[in-house]
Structure 1
């Protein structure tokens, strides 16, 4: 059974997302963030409806989390123009910046022809910066992606810079921002509404499940639990004040019995070590998982596991 067919059940059963504070969970999340040397924002949407936030309206640099936004925009762009993700793009060596994170360039230094799907796998699954900017070039840049997502009803975010621009000026990454709540809303929309073609949604979700980055963040406490996690990370360098501008992870968690939640964690302007920033995200992930898996809160709707 495909992701789409199973998630279709969730569409029929779910209600509109609305903020209903869960004080037990919110209190634990606030306690985890208290005294940490950074601004931290958390949003959790459980079962498509119940929402818990801590600093949910904080403007946070997305970093590579915006590659999820881009992927949805790329899918919409392709659909509007009659393209398939199996269609190919020519990638020339001058498109492959030598001074950036790029498994694509490392594997294919001379370029080649790649399907849109393969470039998305590099961008989402491995956070490839060159693949990201090649896809922005295909759709007409960050402005088109921003406009596309706003047409879906999102407002509390901005996409203004591509990876090349952020590489030139570290502070430019602040121009790509989202609130934790809006990032969680986007992922919940992808799971529970038909904002893009079901086959393309199915592909993006599976690519997120295969994400290879950020193993010490949302994924860390979930490794032996039997859950399915799909996620997208974002990571910055440090600014002139020595702060990590952003350490982020946004994902969906499917429990073995089919219940689900979406979680977005952003750690902004941190004076802590990289390891401590990741450990905070892992601790938040643990708290949320234990809250729901432990039966303290009923999750709905119940759907079967998306994996065959």
Structure 2
């Protein structure tokens, strides 16, 4: 055999020795996901993407689901983009007053002292993206120019099935047919909860039913997977230090430990953002978790889980998202 033929044979052997690109065990996923959805007692949306070969599998992947606090991850990206554009500095102080407090979960408001405090922009990003702080998220959104700025960023990046439209102080009351709070109003959460409780159940349920179909502040599982893939590839942020900062924040968060993270093998890492809505009249608005999972062997994949309108209790809802993660790991090829 000539040297040229030996070289060609060696090259052919190398090519045939390369394993085929990985893919999901789609039959396994298709058969198991319906059982998880039934146990979750709601509408379950899932998207999985192997970051090694970009193979995508989804369940209700093109349907729209309410995001709740999942929106705080693209919001944080939009803020960091403005830092890169020179509009802000990470150490820039942002003044917060008591009239800026938003509804529901806010470690910032809970620890607040006095009438006015300054917080570095970096800390507001950490609070919003890491601790799901509603006050911090609303303030960041206002500072960068409003929800439409985040949605424009997504559209410019090619993500069309994810929309951010309102502040927390607006959309949380509107889920139940109540009037949202403007920036010229002080949020009175005690009064809001009393008003919500006093509503006729049929009106509350009807409003929630409409909200579950609302395409505002919502995403399809596949659009969220597309956003996360771009984040994993470093497409959203030019400065690797900014991407590393945000990744650290959403990896070190303690929020949502019983959701996707609980279904991953020991030694895995998860960079993620959760979302959760109220439960009224036995119906939960949303229980969500989306992220980038890194297994102990280095394998990475995007996982998106949205659960809307569930009648299961909180532990059962979170367990369903953990079950999706276990299924995803077992279905990797």
**When the two structures are superposed, what TM-score results if normalisation uses the length of structure 1?**
0.82
- What is the CA deviation profile of residues 93-120 of structure 1, one whole-angstrom value per residue up to 9, with x for unaligned ones? 32124x5211011222334221211101
Whichever of the two has the greater Rg, that structure is 2
Structure 2: 5+ residue stretches without partners: 1-22, 178-210
- The question of 1:280 aligning with 2:317 is answered no
How many angstroms apart in 1 are the aligned matches of 2:87 and 2:148? 21
How many angstroms apart in 1 are the aligned matches of 2:148 and 2:80? 16
Match of 1:59 among 20, 45, 64: 64
- The question of 1:268 aligning with 2:308 is answered yes
Q: Relative to structure 2, which stretch is displaced further, 260-269 or 111-120? A: 111-120
How many angstroms apart in 2 are the aligned matches of 1:45 and 1:273? 28
How many angstroms apart in 1 are the aligned matches of 2:99 and 2:37? 44
Tell me which residue corresponds to 1:37.
41
Tell me which residue corresponds to 1:15.
none
Contact 2:40 2:316 in 1 (8 A): no
Give matches, 1:1-308, under 5 Å. 22-34=26-38, 36-48=40-52, 49-97=54-102, 99-110=103-114, 111-171=116-176, 174=214, 175-197=216-238, 198-222=240-264, 225-239=266-280, 242-292=282-332, 297=333
Residue 219 of structure 1: SS of its match in structure 2? helix
How many angstroms apart in 2 are the aligned matches of 1:109 and 1:245? 32
How many angstroms apart in 2 are the aligned matches of 1:253 and 1:205? 12
Contact 1:96 1:109 in 2 (8 A): no
Aligned residues: 272
The CA deviation at 1:149 is: 1.3
How many angstroms apart in 2 are the aligned matches of 1:148 and 1:263? 22
Contact 2:234 2:243 in 1 (8 A): no
RMSD, aligned CA: 2.1
How many angstroms apart in 2 are the aligned matches of 1:119 and 1:249? 21
Residue 49 of structure 2: SS of its match in structure 1? strand
Structure 1: 5+ residue stretches without partners: 1-18, 298-308
**When the two structures are superposed, what TM-score results if normalisation uses the length of structure 2?**
0.76
How many angstroms apart in 2 are the aligned matches of 1:195 and 1:51? 20
How many angstroms apart in 2 are the aligned matches of 1:81 and 1:171? 39
- What is the CA deviation profile of residues 179-228 of structure 1, one whole-angstrom value per residue up to 9, with x for unaligned ones? 01111111111011322132211111111101221121111133x61011
Contact 1:231 1:251 in 2 (8 A): yes
